[in-house]
């Protein structure tokens, strides 16, 4: 059991390293992209290039994904507490959510089709 805890801790430290690296880059570039997004892209790149092996982050990543609902609680509470400020803008917010959702679905679908065609060749 202690070995498993150590393994998860080391895996979590890898994820934390890339998160903090992303935060640092975001700070240095003026915050154009959130540090968490930059860190995730850096981790993805490191995994693709083989600099970080999947086994180095797999256990902690599965644990985080399995409990992802916990990460949505603070924003949900924030929306509830700010309801008086956003309730007057609910229609534009709903339209923006629908348009962005449809756009993401279309883009991901087109990208998937393009990748599948390239893989078949």
| Per-residue pLDDT, 33 | 87
State pLDDT tens for residues 42-101. Answer: 999 999 999 999 999 998 889 888 988 888 888 888 888 988 888 889 999 999 999 999
pLDDT band at 113 (very low <50, low <70, confident <90, very high): very high
What's the mean pLDDT in 1-19? 88
Q: Is the dihedral of CA 19, 12, 45, 114 positive or negative?
A: negative
pLDDT band at 7 (very low <50, low <70, confident <90, very high): confident
Contacts of 24 (CB under 8 A, 6+ apart): 35
Locate 90 and state its tokens. Answer: 């609910």
Instruction: Concatenate the DSSP letters of all residues of the chain into one string.
Output: -HHHHHHHHHHHHHHHHHHHHHHHHHHHTTSSS-HHHHHHHHHHHHHHHTSS-GGGTHHHHHHHHHTTHHHHHHHHHHHHHTHHHHGGGHHHHHHHHHHHHHHHHHHHHHHHHHHHHHHH-
pLDDT surpasses 80 at 9 = yes
| Per-residue pLDDT, 102 | 97
pLDDT surpasses 80 at 1 = no
Locate 56 and state its tokens. Answer: 């180095």
What's the mean pLDDT in 4-28? 92
75, 80, 85, 88 alpha-carbon torsion, rounded to 10°: 110
| Per-residue pLDDT, 50 | 92
């Amino acid at each position: 059991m202690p070995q498993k805890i150590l393994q998860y801790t080391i895996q979590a430290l890898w994820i934390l390293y890339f998160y903090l690296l992303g935060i640092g880059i975001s700070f240095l570039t003026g915050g154009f992209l959130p540090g968490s997004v930059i860190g995730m892209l850096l981790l993805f790149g490191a995994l693709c290039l083989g600099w970080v092996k999947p086994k180095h982050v797999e256990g902690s990543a599965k644990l985080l994904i399995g409990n992802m609902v916990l990460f949505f609680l603070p924003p949900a509470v924030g929306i509830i507490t700010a309801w008086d400020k956003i309730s007057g803008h609910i229609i534009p917010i709903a339209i923006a959510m629908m348009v962005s959702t449809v756009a993401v679905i279309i883009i991901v679908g087109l990208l998937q089709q393009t990748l599948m065609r390239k893989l078949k060749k």
